[in-house]
Amino acid sequence: MTQTVAVLGTGKIGEALLSGMIRAGWHAADLLVTTRRTERADELQGRYGVDSVSNAEAAKRADTLILAVKPQDMGKLLDELAPHLTADRLVISAAAGITTSFIEERLAPGTPVVRVMPNTPVLVDEGMSVISAGSHATGEHIVHAEEIFGGVGKTLRVPESQQDAATALSGSGPAYFYFLVEAMTDAGILLGLPRAQAHDLIVQAAIGAAVMLRDSGEHPVKLREAVTSPAGTTISAIRELENHGVRAALIAALEAARDRSRELASGNG
């Protein structure tokens, strides 16, 4: 059976997901988008050939609705959808912090809700999408969510109680690596390298390290030890990282992200 999927709130993550679904073989005719601005609707229509409709129309026509608005906009969107949405539709939320019960309380009794935390590497089919079932979502609903998000990367099922932590690690995760690359590129400038060269060196080091982390089967400590020669350069750098508390800073940073996700749960954080 052909399924129609609507992406409601097609900003950064909504568009990333939409583009990935089209790459993964979804037909534009089976996809709908909703936007706040008509210029944005025209842009998406031109780029992907998808129809842009109102939220009410999406609720009526789509079998699966992916909610990709900001957590602060979720209450308003659900109020708009509720009069038009029947409990035979699957609702998938990609919003940080928003719980499945927050959504269930605002929709028809029994509506299946799945909470997913994707990340922007869905744009290059290397996403990570962490998936949890709400109280009315069946195994079949989860499999359907895995089919959608699995087309653009890996998926992982977790109990919803772990979603705020997963958001801190995985949803926000790419930003930490971009931040590190930015800082290390600046360090390259300080050491006298041209910016473009510094950027290329650090990005390739990141890609090489990422592939080794994924493919070697080695623990990160082993991989780092193999780079760290006795009385060499790497240990001099590591000592500075430890002196500046980088490990503690990362732990505190991810804890702050987890706490912020919890705060967003109210939908007006």
Binding interface with ligand A1CAB (CB under 6 A): 96, 167, 171-172
Task: Name the residue number minimizing CB distance to ligand A1CAB.
Answer: 171
Question: Per rule CB under 6 A, is residue 71 in the interface with ligand NAI?
Answer: yes
Determine if 59 is a binding residue for ligand NAI (CB under 6 A): no
Site for ligand NAI in 21-40 (CB under 6 A): 34-36
- Considering the complex, state which of residue 134 and residue 198 has its C-beta at the smaller distance from ligand NAI: 134
53 versus 116: smaller Cβ distance to ligand A1CAB: 116
- In angstroms, rounded to a whole number, what is the distance separating the alpha carbons of residues 222 and 58? 51
Binder of residue 36, out of ligand NAI, ligand A1CAB, none (CB less than 5 to 8 A by kind): ligand NAI
Alpha helices in the chain (DSSP H): 12-23, 38-48, 55-61, 71-81, 100-106, 139-150, 163-166, 173-190, 195-215, 220-227, 233-243, 246-264
Phi, psi of 94, rounded to the nearest 5 degrees: -105, 10
State the binding partner of 77 from ligand NAI, ligand A1CAB, none, CB within 5 to 8 A by kind: ligand NAI
142 in contact with ligand NAI (CB under 6 A)? no
Nearest approach, Cβ of residue 80 and ligand NAI (Å): 6
In order of 17, 72, 175, 219, 235, the CA distances from 227 in angstroms are: 37, 45, 25, 13, 9
Give me the sheet containing 113-117, strands edge to edge: 51-52, 31-34, 5-8, 64-67, 90-93, 113-117, 127-133, 153-157
Q: How far is the CB of 174 from ligand NAI (least distance, A)?
A: 7
Length of the chain equals 269
Q: Compute the distance between CA of residue 94 and CA of residue 108 in angstroms, rounded to an integer.
A: 20
Nearer to ligand NAI, 188 or 269 (CB): 269
Q: Identify which of residues 92 and 198 has a Cβ nearer to ligand NAI in the complex.
A: 92
Shortest Cβ distance from residue 167 to ligand A1CAB (Å)? 5
Handedness of CA 175, 176, 182, 185 (dihedral sign): negative
* CA–CA gap between residue 79 and residue 9 (Å, rounded): 15
Rounded to the nearest whole angstrom, what is the least distance from the CB of residue 241 to ligand A1CAB in the complex? 25
Closest to 18 measured CA to CA, from 27, 226, 166: 27
What, of ligand A1CAB, ligand NAI, none, does residue 121 touch, CB below 5 to 8 Å by kind? none
Sites of contact with ligand NAI (CB under 6 A): 8-9, 11-14, 34-36, 55, 68-71, 73, 76-77, 94-96, 117-120, 171
